[in-house]
Amino acid sequence: MGLQTEERPLPPISKRPGEPCVEPQADSSPRESLGGVGELACAGGRHPDAQRDELLRVLETQRDQLLRQEDQLLQARQELAASRRASRAYQIQAGCNHALLRTLTEEDLFQEVCRIVVEKGDFALAWVGLAAEDESRRIRPVAIFGEHAEFLQGLSISWGNRQSGRGPSGRAVRERRPVVCPSIAGDPVFAPFRLEAARRGLASCISLPLLAEDRCLGVLGIYAREENVFDAEEEQLLVELANQLSFGLLALRLRTERSEALEQVERLAYFDPLTGLPNRRMFLERLGQAVALAQREGQQLALLFLDLDRFKDINDTLGHDGGDQLLKAVASRLRGCVRQADTVARHGGDEFVIILHAIHGQGQAEAVAKKILAAFAEPFQISGREVYSSTSVGIALSPADGTDVDTLIRHADAAMYTAKAEGRQTYRFFSMEMNRRIQAKLLLEQHLRLAWQRGEIFLRYQPQIDLRSAEVVGVEALLRWHSPVLGEIEPERFIPLAEETGMILPLGEWMLRQACRQVRAWHDSGFGGLRLAVNISARQFRQSDFIDLMDDILAESGLKPRSLVLEMTESTVMDKSEEAIMTLTDLKIRGLSLSLDDFGTGYSSLNHLRSFPIDQIKIDRSFLADLERPYGQAAIIEAMIAMAHSLGLRVVAEGVEERSHIDFLRVRNCDEAQGYFLARPLSSEVIPGHLRDNLPDLKKRLGP
C-alpha cells in the first residue's frame, strides 16, 4: 500500500530566465499536470519532492531544447529571407547590367530597368523621373512599369522646397539621399493619395536619387505591396542599384554624345551645313561611282553645272542671312526637279551640280534643264519678300563629253559659262568648240604668267587733249603685252584673264609704281602740268591695304597727289558701296583725283554721281563708235555731258577716232578727249618729243 501524501501546488515554471512564470492550473492535480511524467515518477517509488524536482529538470531540458529549435528555426528563416533578398537584388542588378549593355537610348534603359525591378524584385510599381535644373525644378516621369502605372499619371512632382516637393521623390532629389516611406497609409504626406494607393495595394515606397558628378540627375521610385519592406539592408542594395543606373546613364549619354559627334563630323565632311545637300567631297565620290557604273553597264549619265545669276547683287541687297535663305530655297527647289535616285549637291558658293543617272539620251537631260529654268521663273519667298533669281546651266554627257570626273566637271563648267555669256537664264550643252576656247584660255594664262616673269609686259601712254585749248593735259597709262610666241595680245583678252586669276594685283602695283616714277621724271624735265591717269581694277580697289599702297607709291615716286587720276568703273565702286565711299573719301582727302571710267555701261545714275566723291566721268568708247547709228546715241552723250556739268564734274570722252567726233564733242562742251584720231598710245621715250613737236600740228588739226 503506497504512502498517502499531501498534495501541494507546484511552483511556477519560467520559460526563459527573465520571462514571466506560468502558474499551473489550480484544478489540476500534479499527476494530471505532469501526465505520463508524474506517473512515471510515482511508479519509481521516490519521495514526491524528489519526483517534482526531477520533473522540473526534465521540463527545463525540454524547454531549452524547444527554445534552441525555435532560435534555429528563426535564424534559418532569417537566413532564407536574406538569401532570397540577396538573390532578388542580384537578379535585379544582373538584369540592369544586361540592360545597360543592350539598350541604346535613355528611354529604353529607364523602361527596361523599371520592368526588371518589378518582375525580378516582385515589387508593385517602379518609375524613373528626371530632374529639371531650370526654375520649374520639375521631376518629369520618363518611364513607369507595374500593375498600377496610372497612379503616377497626372501627378505634379517637384524637387523644389514647396508643397509638390515634400514627397519622398522631391526630398530624395533635393537632399540627395534615399527617402523611405515604410507606411503610405500612415504618412501624412500621402494623405491626398492614401485612398488611391490603398485601392491599388501600394503600402510602402522608397525613392533613390540618381547621383553622378556632383549632380542629381533624377530619381528611381519603387512601390511595394507590404509595409516596412525597405529595411536598412534592402535600402543599401537598392542604393547600389540606383548608383549603377546613374553610372549607366552617364555612360549612355557619353556614348550618345560621342556617336552624335562622330555623326556630325561625318556629316560636316560629306554634307553642306547650310543646305543639307551633299558637299563637293561627296559629289566627287558619287560622280566617280556613277561614271564607273555607267561604263560597266553601258549607260549614259549627265552632269548639270548650275550657277546663280547675279547672286552677289541679291546677297548685297538682302544681306548674308537673306542670301543663305535663298541658297536653301534653291536647294529645295532643285531637289524637286530630279528623281530620287539622282544627286543634287552644292559645289560651293552659289554653284550647284546635278548628276542624272542612267539617262536615255540628251533629250532627258534637256527636259530636266527646262524644268529647272521653269522652277526658277517663280519667285522665292525670302524674309517676307518675293525675290526673283535665275540660273545658267551647263550640261556635259558621259561618255560623249568625258569618261572621267575631272573632264566632265571641266566641260560642264565650260558649258555653264557659255550659257552665262549668251544671256543667262538658259542652258547649253558642251561642244568641242567650247573645248577649243577652254584650251586657248589655258594657253593664254600659261603664257601670261611667263610674260610677267620674262618682262614681256610694258606700258604705253595715250595723250589726253583739252578740247578748248587743244593742249595735252594728261596721259593715260596702258598695259601692253607682246609675246614672242603669240604675238601682240589685245588688252581686252589678257586683262580680264589677269583679273580672274589674281595676277592683276602684282601687275597693277607694278604699273602704278612705274607710271608714277615716269610722270615725275617728265615733271622734272619741264612738263610739270602733265596729269597721269591709271585704271584701277576691282581687285586692287577692294584690297584692305590699297590706301597704304597708294601712300607708299606717292612717297616713293615723289609725284604730287593732284597729278594722279585714279580711274575706276562703276561696277567697282558699286560693289559694297558703303565701303567704296569710305575708300574713295580716303583717296580724295589725300588730294588724288577720281574718275568714273566706262560711264554709261553700268549702274549710271544721278544718285550715284551725287554719292561718290568723284571729279570726272569718262564716257565709254562704245557711245562714239555708234554715234552715226539711229539709236539715239547722240542724245544720250549730250545728256551725260549736261548731267555731269550740272554736278560740277569734268567729262572725258574716249574712243575719238574721227574728226566728226571732235566736232560733236566740242559743240556739246565736252572737256577732254583721247583716241587714235588725236594720238595713239606712245612709249615713254616718245612722249617728250610728242609734247614738244606735235602741239602746233594738233592745234591745226583741231581748228579753232
H-run or E-run covering 568? strand 564-569
Residue keyed to cell 580697289: 541
- The Cα-based distances of 537 to 59, 466, 507, 612 in angstroms read 124, 26, 10, 17
In 3D space, the residue among 291, 288, 267, 289 whose CA is nearest the CA of residue 279 turns out to be 267
Q: Round to whole Å and give the CA distance between 523 and 155.
A: 95
pLDDT value at position 435? 74
Contact (Cβ atoms closer than 8 angstroms) between residue 411 and residue 396: yes
691 CA to centre of own chain: 63
**Phi and psi, residue 217, nearest 5°:** -75, -30
Q: What is the mean pLDDT of the chain?
A: 85
- β strands within 4-120, DSSP E: 13-14, 21-22
Extract the C-alpha cell encoding 520.
615725275
On the question of pLDDT at 704 being above 70, the answer is: no
25 secondary structure, DSSP code? P
In 3D space, the residue among 465, 484, 461 whose CA is nearest the CA of residue 473 turns out to be 465
pLDDT value at position 38? 47
DSSP 305-357: EEEETTHHHHHHHHHHHHHHHHHHHHHHHHHTTS-TTSEEEEEETTEEEEEEE
Extract the C-alpha cell encoding 354.
546635278
Per cent of the chain over pLDDT 90 is 45
Average pLDDT, integer, range 8-32: 46
Contact (Cβ atoms closer than 8 angstroms) between residue 567 and residue 527: no
| pLDDT tens per residue across span 405-435 | 999 999 999 899 889 888 888 999 998 887 7
Q: Round to whole Å and give the CA distance between 557 and 274.
A: 49
428 secondary structure, DSSP code? E
pLDDT value at position 24? 46
| pLDDT tens per residue across span 141-177 | 999 999 888 888 767 889 988 877 889 999 999 999 9
| pLDDT tens per residue across span 571-602 | 777 765 678 888 999 999 999 999 998 887 75
| pLDDT tens per residue across span 244-280 | 888 888 888 888 778 777 777 777 788 998 999 999 9
Bridge partners of residue 488, in order along the sequence: 482
Per cent of the chain over pLDDT 70 is 88
Average pLDDT, integer, range 642-665: 92
In 3D space, the residue among 501, 275, 299, 280 whose CA is nearest the CA of residue 405 turns out to be 280
Angle of helix 232-270 relative to helix 106-121, nearest 10 degrees, comes to: 160
| pLDDT tens per residue across span 349-401 | 899 999 999 998 899 999 999 999 999 999 998 888 888 889 999 999 999 99
pLDDT value at position 87? 67
Bridge partners of residue 359, in order along the sequence: 300
pLDDT value at position 36? 47
393 CA to centre of own chain: 28
195 CA to centre of own chain: 54
On the question of pLDDT at 35 being above 60, the answer is: no
